[in-house]
Amino acid sequence: MKSLGLTVLGGILALVLGVTFLLASVQRSDAATCLADPSKYPTAGVNGYQGDQLANAAAIIGAAQQLSLGRDAQIIGIMTAMGESSLKNITYGDWETSGNTNPDGTRTSSIGLFQQQDWWGSVEDRLDPTKAATLFFGRLNAVAGWQDMEPSHAIWRVQINSDKDHYAKYETDATAVVDALTGTCAAGSGEWIVPARGTVTGVFGDSRGDHVHMGTDLADGTCAGPIWAASAGVVTSTGYNSGGGGYIWIEHADGVTTGYFHMKTSDILVTKDQAVTAGEQIGRVGNEGNSYGCHLHYEVKMNGDYVNPQTFMESVGTALPR
């Protein structure tokens, strides 16, 4: 599932339309960069997991993101490591702790977060959290229809342990860890933040048959993920139309407005004239209207004129993840 930095910008920013405005205290804040910064992890831990355990969880999520695997796969990866090692990168396994052997009578050689044996890869790779997670996700992807299975059953198809329901008890904790490490950090705390999880899947200016794409799409392969206000402002309108589905428009300072589209009406969490802060959840990602799958269609206007959201967000120090 880059580096996170707090950038103070002083000066005048010239946009494509020749409009200028002053920006300060800008936060870059996509999920992957936040995962790389342990100082951003919840200090009190998450459901009893903390410190190195959360760092290992972050590595698993980051590996999934690098493979373009969404929240469901990330939760499955965390569930597996919880069930195998309690999210601890241990150098021993079932033989040392329980005297377990392989079916042929040889000692097990399990190590690492996923308790992977020799045939998974080198000792170095199995003890590297990111590489171990990448090995796991590679085999998960090879399981036909894993997305439609009970998570513990999908894991069982990869790990081949004796109880296919062994990992089910970790799903709640794994979900909490994934949401804590991606949700809070993804929202950020600066003047401008990335408004949804995922990466850019559609760009500004593309021809879409009878119209031109006037926004940038963000998606992580899942539905119902949080949509955050990209900056502080006031909600000027919400509604629903056949093309954009459920939508929200927010007015910010310096003539900037942002739009958020394709939600279910029930997933619009703000109302007209409501003041919002940067990173406040305003809705949930959906697939309503003229949409090809669950994603956020994000638009930016300057003094009423459309501008490229990617160019704009880069200009305020918060590049949309690619």
Of 265, 262, 260, which is closest to residue 288 (Cα–Cα)? Answer: 262
More confident residue, 76 or 70: 76
| DSSP per-residue codes, 283-313 | EE-B--SS-SSSBEEEEEEETTEEE-HHHHH
For the chain, give every domain's residue range. 6-28+193-315, 38-183
pLDDT above 50: residue 91 = yes
The pLDDT value recorded for residue 167 is 96
The pLDDT value recorded for residue 103 is 66
pLDDT above 70: residue 22 = no
The pLDDT value recorded for residue 234 is 96
Range of lowest pLDDT (7-11, 91-95, 121-125, 128-132) = 7-11
pTM: 0.51
Who contacts 159 (Cβ-Cβ below 8 Å, separation ≥6)? 80, 84, 114, 115
Rg of the chain in Å (alpha carbons): 22
Q: Mean pLDDT highest for which of 20-29, 36-45, 104-113, 263-272?
A: 263-272
Q: Taking all residues of the chain, what is their mean pLDDT, rounded to a whole number?
A: 82
Please give the span between the terminal C-alpha atoms of the chain, in angstroms, as a whole number.
12
Q: SS3 for 244?
A: coil
Dihedral of CA atoms 260, 265, 268, 271 in degrees, nearest 10, equals 100
Residue 20's CB is within 10 A of a number of other CB atoms, namely 11
Q: Mean pLDDT highest for which of 106-110, 139-143, 191-195, 316-320?
A: 139-143
Of 177, 179, 134, which is closest to residue 158 (Cα–Cα)? Answer: 134
Using pLDDT thresholds of 50, 70 and 90, give the confidence band for residue 138: very high
By the 8 A CB rule, do 218 and 236 touch? no
What would the CATH number be for the domain defined by 6-28+193-315?
2.70.70.10
The pLDDT value recorded for residue 96 is 56
Compute φ and ψ for 220, nearest 5 degrees. -125, 15
